[in-house]
Structure 1
Amino acid sequence: MIIRRERPRDHDAVRAVHLAAFTRDPVSGTVRAPEDVVEARLVDELREDAGFLPHLSLVAVVDDVVTGHVLATRGWLEPAGAPVLGLGPLGVLPGAQGRGVGTVLVHALLAVAEAAGETLVALLGRPTYYARFGFRAARDLGVAAPEPLWGGHFQARWLAGPRPGGTFRYAEPFQRL
C-alpha cells in the first residue's frame, strides 16, 4: 500500500471511493442514490474552497488502484479565530475495509498535519474507531461541537502548541450539508 498526496488525475477515483464507501448512510444504514452521497459531493466542493489544504488530501493506492482517501481542511475555533483542522471525509472501498487502509490514512494525515505545525484536528465520527488515534470527546478538550446534538461523536485531538478553547467551525462547504 502506498499513501501519497492526492493528484488532480485522482479526482474521479476519489469520487468513486466515496460513492462506494458511503452508498449506505452511516447513520440510518439506508441505501442512498449516487446523487444523495453527500460525502462525494463534499470532497469536490472542499477542493474548491479556500480552506482546502492540498498536502492534507491523501490517497491509499493498492496495486495501482486508489482504494481510500482522507482529507483535512482548514477550520477554526470561535471566538478567537484560532486555525485548526477538520478531518473528513475518510472513505475506503468496501472490498478494502477492515484491512487497515483507513487506519494508515488517518495516521499519515495526522503525521503530515503535525509536521506542518497544526495544533488541533477535530472530526465527527465513531468514538470507538477514532479513539485508537488519540481522539476523544472534543468537549473534554474545551472544544464545543458546531451542533450540540453531536455529543461524544464530535471528537478532537491536540497535536501541539497552544490550546485555546471555543466552538469549532468547519470549512464553508460543510455548512451547506
Structure 2
Amino acid sequence: MIVRRERPADAAAVDAVHRAAFPTDVEARLVRELRADAGFLSHLSLVAADGDDVVGHVVATRGWIDPLDAPALGLGPLGVRPDRQGRGVGTVLVHALVAVAEAAGERLVALLGDPAFYARAGFVRASDLGVEPPDPAWGGHFQARRLAGPEQRGTFRYAEPFGRL
C-alpha cells in the first residue's frame, strides 16, 4: 500500500470508499463539494492505494480561527473501505496528511472525530489549545494538533461546504 495525492482519475474510487465506509452518502457528497470549494487544497487530498485499488482517502481543507481569520486546516472526511478497516490504513493516512501539512508550513489541524483514534496521531482536545469548536456540543470530540508557528486561539471555522451539512 502507498499513500499519494489524489488524482482526478481517483474521484469515482474515492466516492466509492466514502459511500462504503459510512452509513449515508453525506461524506461522499461533502468530498465532492470540497473539491469545488475555494478552501480545497489539492496537496492535502490523499489516497491509500493498493496497486490501482483506492482503499482509503483523507482530505484537509482551509479553515480559519476567528476572530482574526488565522489560517488553519480542517481534517475530514477520512474514509477507509470496510474490508481494509482495522489494519492501520486510516492511521497511516492521518500521519501522512499531518506530515504534508507541516511541510507546507501549516500551523494547526482541527477535526471532529473519535478522541481514542486521533490521540494516536497527536491530536488533543482543541479547547486545551485555546481553539473552540464551531458547535460547543462537540466538546472533546473536537480536536486539534498544533504544528508550528505562534499559537492560534479562537473559534474554528470550517470551509463553506461543512456549513451546508
Q: Which residue pairs with 1:83 in the alignment?
A: 71
Identify the residue that residue 58 of structure 1 maps to in structure 2. 46
Q: Percent identity?
A: 73
* Amino acid in the other structure paired with 1:40: A
Aligned to 2:16: 16
Cα deviation for residue 64 of structure 1 reads 1.8
1:59, 1:47 → 2: CA distance? 14
**SS in structure 2 of the partner of residue 114 of structure 1:** helix
TM (norm. structure 2) is: 0.99
1:28 alignment counterpart? none
Output the aligned Cα RMSD. Answer: 0.6
- The 5 Å alignment of 1:1-177 reads 1-23=1-23, 32=24, 37-177=25-165
1:114 and 1:86 map into 2 onto residues whose CA distance is 14
Shift of 1:46: 0.1
Alpha-carbon shift at residue 63 of structure 1 (Å):
3.1
Q: Secondary structure at the match of 1:133?
A: coil
Cα displacement (A) at 1:141? 0.4
* Structure 2 runs not aligned, ≥5 long: none
Q: How many residues align?
A: 165
Q: Could you tell me the TM-score, scaled by structure 1's length?
A: 0.92
Structure 1 residue runs without a partner (length 5+): 24-31
| 1:87-116 deviation digits (Å, cap 9, x = unpaired) | 000000000001111111001000000000
